């Protein structure tokens, strides 16, 4: 037993080396070293027309990416869960994608903007919690889940179906509202009422009940704590994004409000924030509208699209920041593009012409 400490050090080092070698290459591919955004795209807007309480910091378009990755990732899980049990989901690769892309978006802004401590702390908190959650799941699924997983990883038990439904509901929920508002508690009783006690794959059923119950209880508890903490540390978030356009179209897209029209025909609109911003903005772009300000900014703006692997766009209106393969859908990749508020309409139209889906527009 004398050799234990030495062997432990050796094995841990070996494991770390293997881990670092593994996903190094292809999980997140930056378009270039450091900042790829043209310098003048960062020029600040000195006199925003947007009312002050609707103005948000310009660097937030980048900093919101890691947060949104934590929506994209569960969305991918939910999608995957429809046809496969989540036992084989590549959790650890998502952890890597999260931190790698965080590094890249931070590279874009670090020379131009002062360090936004509050935002980075928030990213660290959610990033670390997600890392822990995914790591635990990966470990559990490798050690236990894998042994009870049905052949080919098909969804055959009530419990795995329950999981698919729960994951989907959860994603739909967090597209609109903070995750900790989700009602995990009521799912606990549903876990038992919506699944049979006995049945084929009995061991799998028990094992999944154990695992889902653990997940729900832990998330309910953790969510409760985070809710208390967030209330104390951050202000209530605004649910709308103010946008200045050159000319308001005759018919406004749904959920969009006209606040004010200026003498030069330009107008101040109130669009829904977050998930619903993209459809509203896309609709405006289709109407030929040009954006002048979004949340008070006219500088760089980030958006992500989901495109075929062989799509390599090259246009003056935007730059590629990085790409990430969508691991559970071979052939599909996420491309992060940076444009400016003024070029957003052209970018949207180009992307749509190419039949590429806009995943999200990061509206600061």
**List of residues contacting another protein (CB under 8 A):** 1-5, 7-8, 11-12, 14-15, 18-19, 22, 142-143, 147, 210, 213-214, 217-218
DSSP secondary structure string, 196-258? -SS-SSHHHHHHHHHHHHHHHHHHHHHHHHHHHHHHHHSPPPPSEEEEEESS--SSPPTT-EE
SS3 readout for 13-24: HHHHHHHHHHCC
Minimum separation from the CB atom of position 201 to another protein (A): 19
Cβ atoms of residues 13 and 264 within 8 Å: no
Nearer to another protein, 147 or 197 (CB): 147
DSSP secondary structure string, 126-186? HHHHHHHHHHHHHHHIIIIIHHHPPGGG---SHHHHHHHHHHHHHHHHHHHS-GGGS-HHH
Minimum separation from the CB atom of position 127 to another protein (A): 22
Say which DSSP state 25 is in.
Answer: T
Cβ atoms of residues 196 and 239 within 8 Å: no
Minimum separation from the CB atom of position 39 to another protein (A): 43
Q: How far apart are CA 119 and CA 127, in angstroms?
A: 12
Nearer to another protein, 26 or 214 (CB): 214
Minimum separation from the CB atom of position 10 to another protein (A): 9
- Phi then psi for 248, rounded to 5 degrees? -75, 135
Q: How many CA atoms lie within 13 A of 174 on its CB side?
A: 20
Check the CA dihedral 138-329-170-87 and report its sign: negative
Cβ atoms of residues 280 and 302 within 8 Å: no
Nearer to another protein, 217 or 233 (CB): 217
Nearer to another protein, 2 or 232 (CB): 2
Minimum separation from the CB atom of position 140 to another protein (A): 10
Cβ atoms of residues 344 and 300 within 8 Å: no
Nearer to another protein, 143 or 232 (CB): 143
Nearer to another protein, 1 or 203 (CB): 1
Minimum separation from the CB atom of position 187 to another protein (A): 14
Nearer to another protein, 3 or 47 (CB): 3
Nearer to another protein, 44 or 197 (CB): 197
Q: How far apart are CA 282 and CA 269, in angstroms?
A: 14
Q: How far apart are CA 111 and CA 268, in angstroms?
A: 31
Nearer to another protein, 25 or 117 (CB): 25
Cβ atoms of residues 281 and 344 within 8 Å: yes
Minimum separation from the CB atom of position 174 to another protein (A): 23
Nearer to another protein, 189 or 354 (CB): 189
Q: How far apart are CA 16 and CA 142, in angstroms?
A: 18
Minimum separation from the CB atom of position 91 to another protein (A): 14
Q: Is 143 exposed, middle or buried (0-12, 13-18, 19+ CB in 10 A)?
A: exposed
Minimum separation from the CB atom of position 305 to another protein (A): 33
Minimum separation from the CB atom of position 270 to another protein (A): 44
């Amino acid at each position: 037993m004398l050799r234990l400490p030495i062997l432990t050090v050796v094995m841990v080092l070996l494991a770390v080396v293997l881990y670092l070698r593994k996903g190094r290459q292809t999980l997140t591919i930056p378009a270039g070293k450091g900042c790829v955004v043209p310098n003048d795209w960062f020029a600040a807007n000195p006199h925003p027309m947007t009312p002050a309480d609707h103005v948000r910091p310009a660097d937030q378009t980048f900093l919101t990416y890691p947060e949104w990755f934590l929506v994209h990732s569960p969305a991918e899980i939910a999608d995957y869960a429809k046809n496969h049990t989540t036992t084989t989901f590549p959790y650890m690769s998502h952890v890597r994608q999260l931190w790698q892309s965080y590094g890249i978006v931070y590279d874009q802004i670090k020379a131009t903007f002062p360090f936004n401590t509050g935002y980075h702390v928030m990213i660290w908190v959610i990033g670390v919690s997600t890392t822990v959650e995914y790591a635990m799941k990966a470990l559990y699924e490798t050690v236990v889940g894998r042994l009870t997983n049905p052949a080919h990883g098909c969804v055959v038990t009530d419990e795995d179906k329950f999981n698919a439904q729960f994951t989907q509901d959860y994603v739909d929920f967090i597209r609109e509202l903070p995750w900790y508002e989700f009602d995990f508690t009521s799912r606990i009783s549903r876990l038992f009422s919506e699944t049979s006690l006995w049945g084929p794959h009995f061991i799998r059923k028990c094992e999944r009940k154990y695992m889902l119950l653990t997940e729900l209880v832990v998330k309910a508890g953790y969510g409760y704590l985070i809710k208390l903490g967030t209330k104390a540390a951050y202000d209530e978030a605004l649910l709308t994004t103010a946008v200045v356009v050159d000319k308001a179209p005759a018919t406004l897209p749904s959920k969009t409000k006209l606040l004010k029209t200026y003498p030069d025909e330009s107008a101040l609109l109130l669009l829904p924030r977050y998930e619903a911003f993209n459809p509203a903005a896309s609709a405006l772009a289709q109407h030929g509208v040009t954006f002048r300000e979004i949340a008070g900014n006219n500088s760089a703006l980030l958006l992500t699209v989901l495109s075929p692997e062989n799509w390599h766009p090259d246009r003056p209106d935007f730059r590629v920041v990085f790409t990430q393969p969508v691991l559970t859908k071979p052939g599909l990749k996420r491309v992060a593009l940076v444009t400016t508020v003024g070029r957003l309409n052209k970018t949207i139209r180009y992307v749509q012409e190419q039949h590429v889906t806009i995943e999200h527009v990061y509206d600061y």
